[in-house]
Amino acid sequence: IFPLERMTVEIKKLAEYKCDTNEAICLKLVRFPEDIEDDGTTFHPEYSHQIFGDDEVAFGYKGLQIQLFYSAGNLSTLFKVKYSSKVTETFDCVEPDDVEGKIREIVPAGFTCNTDDFISLLEKDANFKPFGTLLHTYTVHNEEAGELTYQIHKADITCPGFQEYHERLQTFLMWFIETASFIDADDDRWDFFLVFEKYNKDGETLYATVGYMTVYNYYVYPDKTRPRVSQMLILPPFQGEGHGAQLLEAVHRFYCSLPKVQDITAEDPSENYVKLRDYVLVKLCQGLPSFAADKLHLGFSADMIKEAQDKLKINKKHARRVYEILRLRATDMSDEEKAREYRLEVKKRLFGPYRKNQRELAKMRKCLRPEELVSHMGQMDTQTQHEELEKSYQVVVEDYRRIIERLASQA
């Protein structure tokens, strides 16, 4: 047994062999061989807990670097693990984490660990063409490169080579979506929407993967479907350029063209997705007659619900948010009476969950003992409800203002 001091020194030394896996994992989308050594093209995960545990730490290495480099188009993969020293070289009976094994669990077979082999695969990207049907083309102005052209394609599992490509593409989910999981792409109810950038290399037109969305088509009795967005990811090098809005709008327009679609929803949407959806749906709805400025002050109407549903496959809940955003845009909030009317209109909707709590409390009175009832009533204090409602209202209006500003900047 070590003396206490010696144990403390040993523990400190072992702590030096801990690495933050979000920093250690180096991701790249490679277009040219020189990108491989260029640190400027590297990006890192937001999350690695699904692979390395809640602490997002790998033990057993100093200077750990986990390289996952992908060719920009076909996503051919280079996988390397580098480190300056390993714990087993210094300490007996201490095992390092099996970093390579953990990564192999999510990266599909077919990757290479050899840089020269990867460069050969990179050359084959010249033959890569986007999968599926072209839905939409758009351009984005880039200060360095000028006008860049992007394409959105719809693919499914029957496209030759797509299944293998999708297996490589979905590995990015683990690093950028907190609760991500891989999907069973064999199910023919899945639709895939892919975004690609067109670029030139040695006089040839090539395509780089920008992002994608998966949508599952649920059956709705008797003869409709309800497409539900499952996952959506724009890869970090392309974020903040408006691709998410372009993708969501293209997907919405595609499903609006199908008579069998009832409405379009999303599975467990993140806050960012809700904001993006609000922006896209407002953009689509602002031209509908029922959402005209002179109708908005009359309140949320059955005409709005019907027109949003029939023309744009938007359900009542989402149509209500669109109405609130457009009404805010059309309201002079410096006019106290108009501002008050708007505030009451939004708070009436936000109060729904509190009303539900009151109904639940009435049921509880019949079956709870007095001391249990007191504890539940304490949670529903009226003053607290009003404060929470005001907080919720302020957050909602702040989000709505950002959407209105974004619409104004795109006009």
What positions carry a catalytic annotation?
267
Residue 43 DSSP symbol: B
With beta carbons less than 8 A apart as the criterion, state whether 285 and 291 touch.
yes
Query: Backbone phi, then psi, for 403, in 5-degree steps?
Result: -65, -40
CA 211 – CA 243 distance, rounded (Å): 8
The four Cα atoms 251, 71, 48, 150 give a dihedral, to 10 degrees, of -30
3-state secondary structure of 134: strand
With beta carbons less than 8 A apart as the criterion, state whether 172 and 191 touch.
no
With beta carbons less than 8 A apart as the criterion, state whether 283 and 406 touch.
no
CA 264 – CA 318 distance, rounded (Å): 10
CA 218 – CA 227 distance, rounded (Å): 6
The four Cα atoms 32, 34, 39, 40 give a dihedral, to 10 degrees, of -50
CA 290 – CA 307 distance, rounded (Å): 7
Angle (nearest 5°) at CA 239 between 233 and 245: 70
**How many other CB atoms are there within 10 angstroms of residue 398's CB atom?**
9
Contacts of 410 (CB under 8 A, 6+ apart): 283
Tokens found for residue 170: 């979905």
3-state secondary structure of 399: helix
Rg (CA), the chain: 26
